[in-house]
Amino acid sequence: MYKSLFFIPALLAATVLLSPDRGARQPAATSAIVTDTTDSGITAEKLYEEFKNPWGMTWLPDGRMLVTERSGEILVFRNDKFTGEKLTGVPEVLSKGQGGLMDIQLHPDHQKNGWIYISYAKPVGDSATTAIARFRLKGNQVTELKGLFVAQPALKANIHFGSRIVFDKNKFMYFSVGERGTQPKVWELDNDHGKIHRLYDDGRVPKDNPHSDQPGARPSIWTIGHRNPQGMVYDAATDRIWAVEHGPKGGDELNLVQKGKNYGWPKTSYGTNYNGSVLTENKELPGVENPVRYWVPSIGPCGMMLVTSNRYPGWKGNLLIGALAHRHIARVELNGTQYVSEEKVLQDIGRVRQVAQSPDGYIYAITEGPGQLVKLIPRQQ
Task: Please report, for the chain, the start and end positions of each structural domain, with discontinuous segments joined by +.
Answer: 15-377
Active site residue 197: no
Report pLDDT for 41.
83
Question: How much is the pTM?
Answer: 0.91
Report pLDDT for 379.
80
**Which ranges of the chain does DSSP label H, i.e. alpha helix?**
15-18, 110-113
Dihedral over alpha carbons 120, 126, 127, 128 (to 10 degrees): -10
Catalytic residue, candidates 107, 110, 160, 211: 160
Secondary-structure breakdown of the chain: helix, strand, coil percentages, each rounded to the nearest 5? 5, 40, 55
Report pLDDT for 34.
56
Edge to edge, what strands does the sheet with 127-138 contain? 101-106, 116-124, 127-138, 141-150
In Å, how far are 171, 174, 238, 251, 260 from 5, measured between CA atoms? Answer: 32, 26, 22, 11, 22
Neighbour-count burial of 230, counting CB atoms closer than 10 A to its CB (0-12 exposed, 13-18 middle, 19+ buried): buried
Residues 332, 320: Cα–Cα separation, whole Å? 6
Determine the straight-line distance between the first and last CA of the chain, rounded to whole angstroms: 44
CA of residue 257 relative to chain centroid, distance: 14
Residues 248, 57: Cα–Cα separation, whole Å? 27
Per-residue confidence in pLDDT tens, the chain, 381 aa: 333 333 333 333 333 333 333 333 333 443 455 565 556 789 999 999 999 999 999 999 999 999 999 999 999 999 999 999 999 999 999 999 999 999 999 999 999 999 999 999 999 999 999 999 999 999 999 999 999 999 999 999 999 999 999 999 999 999 999 999 999 899 999 999 999 999 999 999 999 999 999 999 999 999 999 999 999 999 999 999 999 999 999 999 999 999 999 999 999 999 999 999 999 999 999 999 999 999 999 999 999 999 999 999 999 999 999 999 999 999 999 999 999 999 999 999 999 999 999 999 999 999 999 999 999 999 865
Report pLDDT for 5.
36
Domain 15-377: give its CATH architecture: 6 Propeller (2.120)
Q: Phi, psi (5° rounding) for residue 185?
A: -65, -15
